[in-house]
Structure 1
C-alpha cells in the first residue's frame, strides 16, 4: 500500500472503533443491521464515499484500490455500510445520467446528503441482471415502473434507487427519486422514473458497475476471513484439552494452515482484481474469476472457523459465527460461484488455445 492508503486505513480503523454499532461490537445480532447513519456520516467526514468520483463531480478522484482498503477494514470489523451498493448505483448514474443529474447526485453522495442504491434483485428467482418482474411503461411525458424488487439492502435509507426494468425493447435502467420504502422490499406501482439507459449500452454499464461493486465485496470478504483466521488461531493457542493447548494437535494446526493458504490466495486475487478495475474497468472476466476464488475461500474458512471453535463458534456471543454468516451472504450477493462460472463459460470461445508442449 502507498503511504496515502495506509493513512486512509488508519483513519477508517479509528472511525470504526469510535462509531461501531453496539450490535456488531458485542456480536449478539447476526442479521444485517439497518443503515447506521452515524457511522456513514463519520465515513463521509474522512471522504470515503467521495473516493470513486471525479473532482468535477464533487469527488476526490481516487480509485478502486483505495475503496478496497476501506472494504477490507469493514469486513475485519464486522460492520456493514452501503459502500459497494453506492459504488454500483453511482457508477451507473455517472455513466448514463445527464451531466446535471450526475453532478447533483454524485456531489450529494460525496457530501453525505444523498444515498443512491441499486434495486436489481427480484423475489423468488435466482440472481440475474436481466429484469422480468419489474416493467417500465413510457407515458406522454415520463416513464413509470411497476413490480417488486427484493431484497434491496438499506432501502429505507435510500434517497434514489437505480432500478432495472423490462421495457418493450429489452431492458433498461431507471432512476427513482425519493422512494418511500419501509422495508427491503420495494413495491413499485406506476412509480414515476427517469430513464437512464436502455438496450446493449445499459447492459454493458450494469455489468461493469456490478463488477466494480464485486471487487469491494471480495475485499470485505478478505477482511472477514482475516479476522476469522485470527480468532481461530488465538482460540487454538489458548483453549486447552487433555492439559495442552489445542494448537499442539497436528491435525488442527494443519487445518488452520489450509485456512491461511486459502486466505492468501484470496487476498492476492482480490488485490489483482482491484488493480485491474482501476486500469481496465471493462475487464469483467477478471473480477468474475476472482469472485470464484474468493467465494471458495470464504466457504472453506467460514466452515473451518466454526468447526475449530466447536460449540462456541455458533453462539450469539462470539464473533466467528457472525463472520461466517457475513461470508455466506457475500458469496450469494449478485450471483454465486455457479452464476459466475456460467457467465464465464458463455465467452470461452473468445479465448484462444495454448499448446503447453509446443
Structure 2
C-alpha cells in the first residue's frame, strides 16, 4: 500500500498551512485563557476559501467530492499550525446529514457548509457519564406529527457558533438522530426542555450512521494529532540542538537522542495508522474497526510524544509562554474526544470473535 501523498494532497496541505500562517499561529508569549477557545469565524472563513469543509461532500451536494485521505492531509496541516477549528465536529455532523437527511435538506445543509454559511455541530456526549454513542439522558417524545427532546448534552464544542445541531436521543426504537436549529446559547452545555426537533432516523439505521460518522470524525482527529505531534517533535529537536548543558548541546547526550528517536518512531507509527484508516474510510462498506485501531495507536503515540517533549524541555515546557505545553494539552483533548483508548479497546473487544485465531508459533 502506497502512503506517499499525491501532488494534489501536498498542494492542499501547503495551501492550508499558508492560510493558517496568515491568520493564526502558535506564537509564544501569547496570553492564554482557561476557557475553551471561541469559534474564530475569520479563520474558519479562510479554510472555507481553500475548500476544506466541503472536501468530503459530493459535487451534487455542493462539495468537492474528494476523499478522506485529502481531508486527512488538510487536518494534519491544521494540527501543525496549532489552531483549533471545528473540522472534526463539522465532519461528524455533515456525515449524519449526508446519511440520514432527505435529499433537499442534505443539499441545503452541506452546500451551505461548503460555502461557509452553515456550521453543523454534533451534540452526542452527556454529562457525568463515560463516553458512549448510545444516549441515556436525552430522551425523545413523539407528539402529533412532531418530536420533542428533553435532557442535557455536554460538552458540545462550538455550540454557540452552530447553525444546526445533530442530537442523539433515546427513543422507543433505540437511538434516534435529530436535527435542531441553532441553540443560541453561550456555553458548551445544551439543555433541552421539550425542545422541538426533526427526526432524521431511529433504530439500527441511525445507530449505523452514527458509528460511521464518528469513524470519519475519528480519522480527522487522528490526522490533527499527527500534525500536533510533528510540531512537538520539531520544537523538541530544535531545543536539543540549541540548549547547552555542561558546555555541550543536549543533542550530544546519547540518552536524549535515543528518546527523541523513540518520539520519531511513534510519530511515524501514528502517521501510518492514520493514513491506513483514512484509506479504509473511503471504502464501502466502512470498517469502523480500522479507525478504532488507529485511534488506539495515536493515543499511545500522543501520550509518549507529549510527555517526552515536556520532559526534555524541562520547566519551560509547562509555562504558558512556550508552545510545547499547549501542544500536549491539544493532544490530550484530541485523543479524548468521542472516546479514549480504553473505550476504543473495549469496543474492539466486543467483536473479537469475528476474527480467526492465529497460531503465532506455528
Residue of structure 2 equivalent to 1:101:
105
SS in 2 for 1:354: coil
Say how many residue pairs are matched: 357
Contact kept in structure 2, 1:44 and 1:111, CA below 8 Å: yes
2:181 aligned to which of 168, 177, 180: 177
SS in 1 for 2:56: coil
Offset of 1:3 from its aligned partner? 1.5
2:55 counterpart of 1:63: no
Offset of 1:27 from its aligned partner? 4.6
Residue of structure 2 equivalent to 1:254:
258
Residue of structure 1 equivalent to 2:31:
28
Contact kept in structure 2, 1:30 and 1:325, CA below 8 Å: no
1:355 aligned to which of 353, 356, 359: 359
Contact kept in structure 2, 1:120 and 1:131, CA below 8 Å: yes
Unaligned runs of 5+ in 1: none
Q: Distance between the aligned counterparts of 1:225 and 1:353, measured in 2?
A: 34
Residue of structure 2 equivalent to 1:46:
50
1:339 aligned to which of 336, 339, 343: 343
CA RMSD of superposed structures (Å): 1.3
Q: Distance between the aligned counterparts of 1:299 and 1:181, measured in 2?
A: 34
Residue of structure 2 equivalent to 1:328:
332
SS in 1 for 2:117: coil
Q: Distance between the aligned counterparts of 1:29 and 1:221, measured in 2?
A: 20
SS in 2 for 1:137: strand
Offset of 1:356 from its aligned partner? 4.1
Deviations 1:255-277 (A, max 9, x none): 11111111111111111111111
Deviations 1:271-304 (A, max 9, x none): 1111111124620001101100000000010000
Contact kept in structure 1, 2:212 and 2:286, CA below 8 Å: yes
SS in 1 for 2:157: coil
SS in 2 for 1:136: strand
2:6 counterpart of 1:16: no
Contact kept in structure 1, 2:156 and 2:188, CA below 8 Å: yes
Offset of 1:24 from its aligned partner? 6.1
TM-score under structure 1 normalisation? 0.97
Deviations 1:101-121 (A, max 9, x none): 111100111101110010000
Pairing 1:113-152 to 2, within 5 Å after superposition = 113-152=117-156
Q: Distance between the aligned counterparts of 2:9 and 2:361, measured in 1?
A: 43
Contact kept in structure 2, 1:30 and 1:322, CA below 8 Å: no
Q: Distance between the aligned counterparts of 1:357 and 1:73, measured in 2?
A: 42
Contact kept in structure 2, 1:16 and 1:39, CA below 8 Å: yes
Structure 1 residues 154, 227: closer, same or farther in 2, change over 3 A? same
Q: Distance between the aligned counterparts of 1:96 and 1:66, measured in 2?
A: 24
Q: Distance between the aligned counterparts of 2:83 and 2:347, measured in 1?
A: 30
Contact kept in structure 2, 1:273 and 1:287, CA below 8 Å: yes
SS in 1 for 2:282: helix
Offset of 1:225 from its aligned partner? 0.4
- Range with greater deviation from structure 2 (138-147 or 278-287): 278-287
Structure 1 residues 148, 24: closer, same or farther in 2, change over 3 A? farther
Pairing 1:289-304 to 2, within 5 Å after superposition = 289-304=293-308
Unaligned runs of 5+ in 2: none
SS in 2 for 1:279: coil
Pairing 1:65-104 to 2, within 5 Å after superposition = 65-104=69-108
SS in 2 for 1:49: helix
Offset of 1:50 from its aligned partner? 1.1
Q: Distance between the aligned counterparts of 2:243 and 2:142, measured in 1?
A: 65
Deviations 1:120-160 (A, max 9, x none): 00011110001011110101121011111000000000000
Q: Distance between the aligned counterparts of 1:216 and 1:265, measured in 2?
A: 16
Q: Distance between the aligned counterparts of 2:201 and 2:249, measured in 1?
A: 60
Offset of 1:168 from its aligned partner? 2.1
